[in-house]
Amino acid sequence: MTSQQEPTTTPRHRVVVIGSGFGGLFGTQALKRADVDITLIAKTTHHLFQPLLYQVATGILSEGEIAPATREVLANQRNARVLLGNVTHIDLAARTVTSRVLDRETVTPYDTLLVAAGAGQSYFGNDQFAQFAPGMKSIDDALELRGRIFGSFEWAELASTPKEINRLMTFVVVGAGPTGVEMAGQIAELSRRTLRKDFRNIDTSRARIVLLDAAPTVLAAFGDHLGAKAAKRLAEIGVDVQLGAKVTGVDATGIDVEDADGSHRRIESVCKVWAAGVQASELGAQLAEQSGAQLDRSGRIAVNDDLTLPGHPEVFVVGDMAALKGYPGVAQVAIQGSRYAAEQIKRRLAGKEPKGPFEYHDKGSMATISRFSAVASIGKLHFTGFIAWVLWLAVHLVYIIGFKSRLTTLLHWTVSFLGRGRSERTVTEQQVFARTAIEQLGSSYAPSLPRVPADKKAPAQSVAQAREEGSRTL
């Protein structure tokens, strides 16, 4: 593996942003007119609109519509550049960030650091469940689930016994939060509307969709009233909601459950979806070890009221990684936090007094249940049914990045919700099995890309230097 250190001389203040999610992207954009050089480092080449991942998994939207290229989004922001790499180490003393892609390691210095690395799926100490019940935190996850969901119907068409057909046509979603509710609702609609005329040996409308949660209510964060409305609507569209049910085991052909009364049972199911729990990025543990800050159960790091790391005012932590005042791990917290951090950076550079403590302004919560049905909580107002669904559509269209993506998303929604078709039903064997195949190669497997001997030079330190070197090359 080769390692390269970027030059350390630059005329402008260097801001390094980790992550291209809501926090990273909106924070970078908020510094567009600031006198700084921004380097955004992310392990993917895209900005992911995570709330719509379930629609990629169920064939409504393509991945490109909810995951535009980060470089394209920032193409006109002249003080920002994007580096592909998985951040493996943050050195608070040296003020450097180390990232890696394949066998290439890059060390990037910073004057101010904005950490917005997000969170992954949590299996509550049972990571072995992931092999058989994928989470839904990335494009890879959504495409794998799409292959598993549509593939289950294909395999059921080939099955010759009722027992095998039932196992293949039983879908279990673990977690009755917004993601789980939306996923369960869409699988129900998929089986009862989209696919009902497409098969000859099976009746897809007889598919069983089970929504499990150890909690006593659906959509607990929405309150009892909206939770009850959501549970009622789920039952109406054929979702079997099972609450007070704790998952104790998952394997290739089923899921083991412990009920509230202590009894145990098994649900035979080939296709399982894990939508319960999140775990903050491992970078939080690094920051905690170096700064002495505390971590909560989800791996989030306790930050000061101004979102800075204790003892390190040059480091801001936002979004799913930050633990402050019990704020939830939702997109709006990340967006508002990153914009607040950007404003603090600009004030510092201008010699102004800092803003007061960060305060999150709750703009409400929404979740779709089925076509034309949703629940929404906005302040003291609660909406259900069609009105909530229209509100949900409008809000999500606003936050999708780019006019082109908004237009194509709207067209796909029209096809899927007014008709019964879904244009993104293509699945491949690779989608379903690639993750497991890579994991079976073991931790010693490290892909590499051969490089010419002369390719040892570190990338340009700043946006201006990168542009100058590029023009010389041309």
Block mean pLDDT (10 aa), the chain, length 474: 55 95 97 97 96 96 94 96 97 97 94 96 94 95 97 97 97 97 97 95 97 96 94 97 97 97 97 95 96 94 97 97 94 96 97 95 94 94 96 91 84 88 91 89 82 69 61 48
pLDDT of residue 399: 86
pLDDT of residue 37: 98
Longest dimension (CA), the chain: 75
Q: Which domains does the chain have, with CATH numbers?
A: 2-43+85-121+279-362 (3.50.50.60), 127-275+371-435 (3.50.50.100)
Which residue numbers are catalytic?
Answer: 182
Exposed, middle or buried: residue 133 (CB in 10 Å: 0-12, 13-18, 19+)?
Answer: buried
CA dihedral 71, 97, 116, 12 (to 10 degrees): -70
Identify the three-state secondary structure at position 86. strand
DSSP assignments along 338-402, one per residue:
HHHHHHHHHHHHHTPPPP---------EEEEEETTEEEEEETTEEEEHHHHHHHHHHHHHHHSSS
Radius of gyration of the chain (CA): 23
Identify the three-state secondary structure at position 144. helix
Strand-pair category, 2-5 with 278-280: unpaired
Amino acid identity of residue 9, one-letter, is T
Which residues pair with residue 15 across a beta bridge?
38, 112
pLDDT of residue 456: 61
pLDDT of residue 474: 45
**51 to each of 68, 183, 331, how far by Cα in Å?**
14, 11, 9
